[in-house]
Amino acid sequence: MTTLGVLMMAYGTPRNLDEVEAYYTDIRRGRRPTPEQLADLVRRYQAIGGVSPLYEITVRQAQAVERVLNGQGGRFRVYLGMKHTAPRIAEAVAAMHRDGIDRAIAIVLAPHYSALSVETYHEQARPAAEKLGLELACVNQWHLEPRFLDALAARVEEALARCEDPRRAMVIFTAHSLPARILEMGDPYVDQLHESGEAVAKRLGLSHYTFGWQSAGRTAEPWLGPDLLEMLPTVAQDGYREVVVCSQGFVADHLEVLYDVDIEAKQHAERLGLRLVRTRQMNDDPDFIQAVADVIERARREQG
Ligand code: FEC
């Protein structure tokens, strides 16, 4: 049996505060942030303890997926490639090639597809693989993978159980906002977020739920809305006292969850008399790891 490579791709995070400027510049495609923008980002990292746990979690996710896939009788080797920090996606592809791997599945640790998110990972992976003659099958989306939906539903149920009155709590499914121009591009991102949220709502029989956006970039162009922060006053005015936020577009604890939801949105909610309960992130929990392994197995069968 030959070894099949798995190129697991994730966002990447600075390892310390000194790396924040280079990281931010990379996210901005080479444009350095202003001193004010940089100071604001450093402040947010400081607020979550100075560093984000994202990289360590991503490593654990990759190791766990490899263990599950090989435990199911396969012969896989998972390589981690980051979009904005080392080890870069192209480096991971090169490492695979050095190890004699000529076929691989590429998966981004973000379930919903957008040309402005998942595709930007593939844009780094495909040319690197082509150059080395490595056959790469890229998974575009996996937001409806059954065990991913089970994992999401379990977390919403668990968060509702932490509410004083679960039947009267509003559930908001959120994802990272993107520039609103994706709407004119026929991008499936918005529909896919509704599809996974609706599937979870149906499984749990939810009657109070809605969709919102979070963590919009600090740029001049319009971003998808409404933003979670803008939605909270309406939720409070509608008489809700508790709100469950399910950041379904993210699969790990990181800045956009630990700061944007746990600090910023929670404080805003408190000022409005609302109690905000966040669903537990997937991280390397076994149910989620099995779901990712299922996605990869399916892609392997399709690759033939
Ligand atoms: O914990 C950490 O250190 C990293 C957290 C982190 C994740 C993440 C995920 C996504 N982003 C997506 C899109 C954009 C677009 C821009 C943008 C900007 C930032 C900035 C930081 C940042 N993102 Fe991010 N993102 C994370 C962190 N993101 C920091 C810069 C400062 C700020 O605006 O807050 C705007 C780029 C521009 O300026 O042109 C667009 C999307 C995801 C979810 C999918 C994925 O994980 O790839 C989409 C985690």
Question: What's the pLDDT tens digit per position in 157-181?
Answer: 999 999 999 999 999 999 999 999 9
| Residues whose CB is less than 8 angstroms from the CB of residue 35 and which lie 6 or more positions away in sequence, other chains included | none
* Banded model confidence at residue 81, pLDDT cuts 50, 70, 90: very high
Tokens of 212: 């919102």
Tokens of 236: 């409070």
- Chain-centroid distance of CA 160 in Å reads 22
- Mark 210-243 as b/e (b = at least 16 C-beta within 10 Å): bbbbbbbeeeeeebbeebbbebbeebbeeebbbb
- The protein residue with its alpha carbon nearest to ligand 1, atom 16, reads 217
* Banded model confidence at residue 74, pLDDT cuts 50, 70, 90: confident
| Helix 118-132 vs helix 89-98: crossing angle, to nearest 10 | 30
CB 115 within 8 A of CB 91: no
CB 104 within 8 A of CB 137: yes
CA neighbor of 264 nearest in space, from 245, 248, 280: 245
With a 6 Å cutoff on the Cβ, whether 237 touches ligand 1 is no
User: What is the whole-number distance in angstroms between the Cα of residue 301 and the centre of ligand 1?
Assistant: 32
With a 6 Å cutoff on the Cβ, whether 28 touches ligand 1 is yes
pLDDT for 257: 98
- The protein residue with its alpha carbon nearest to ligand 1, atom 42, reads 176
Can you tell me the ipTM of this complex? 0.95
CB 14 within 8 A of CB 85: yes
Global pTM reads 0.97
Q: What is the pLDDT of residues 6-46, one digit of tens each?
A: 999 999 999 999 999 999 999 999 999 999 999 999 999 99
pLDDT higher than threshold 80 for residue 304: no
Q: What is the pLDDT of residues 35-57, one digit of tens each?
A: 999 999 999 999 999 999 999 99
pLDDT higher than threshold 80 for residue 213: yes
pLDDT for 42: 98
CA neighbor of 228 nearest in space, from 192, 196, 256: 256
